[in-house]
């Protein structure tokens, strides 16, 4: 069953921007990629680094701690030292509010 939680107003997240939402399952990062808004757990699968402050390159993020890259769309690792995916979450817009399904 889906558990939708409010994230941020869509108007407050322009293309290329991101934000971090504290949820009951931990921090979730939202990224506006232009053609989509995606949500990931803000925790690197290598050693727990905060991903949202990493370098964004298109739809890829580089962990600032040891340099692993991840796809923001799939959560899949793209380079070592990470070998496990990070969790991704469905996002929807409801009356201008971006919502995240934290059970997704
Ligand atoms: S904690 Fe992210 S690459 Fe090590």
Domain ranges across the chain: 4-101
CB atoms within 10 A of CB 96: 9
Query: 0.85 exceeded by the pTM?
Result: yes
pLDDT at 15: 95
The pick from 65, 77, 83, 85 for probing ligand 1's pocket by mutation, whose C-beta has the most ligand atoms within 8 angstroms, reads 65
**Position 1 pLDDT exceeds 90:** no
pLDDT at 2: 92
**Position 104 pLDDT exceeds 80:** no
The span from the CA of 46 to the CA of 78, in Å, is: 12
For the Cβ of 47 lying below 6 angstroms from any atom of ligand 1, the answer is yes
Domain 4-101 maps to which CATH number in 3.20.20.140, 2.102.10.10, 3.40.228.10, 3.30.505.10? 2.102.10.10
Residues 16-75: tens digit of each pLDDT: 999 999 999 999 999 999 999 999 999 999 999 999 999 999 999 999 999 999 999 999
């Amino acid at each position: 069953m889906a558990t939708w939680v409010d994230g941020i107003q869509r108007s407050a997240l322009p293309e290329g921007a991101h934000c971090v939402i504290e949820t009951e399952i931990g921090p979730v990062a939202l990224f506006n990629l232009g053609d989509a808004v995606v949500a990931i757990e803000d925790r690197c699968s290598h050693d727990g680094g905060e991903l949202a402050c990493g370098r964004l390159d298109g739809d890829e993020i580089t962990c600032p701690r040891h340099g692993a890259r991840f796809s923001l769309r799939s959560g899949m690792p793209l380079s070592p030292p990470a070998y496990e995916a990070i969790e991704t979450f469905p996002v929807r817009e409801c009356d201008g509010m971006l919502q995240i399904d934290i059970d997704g």
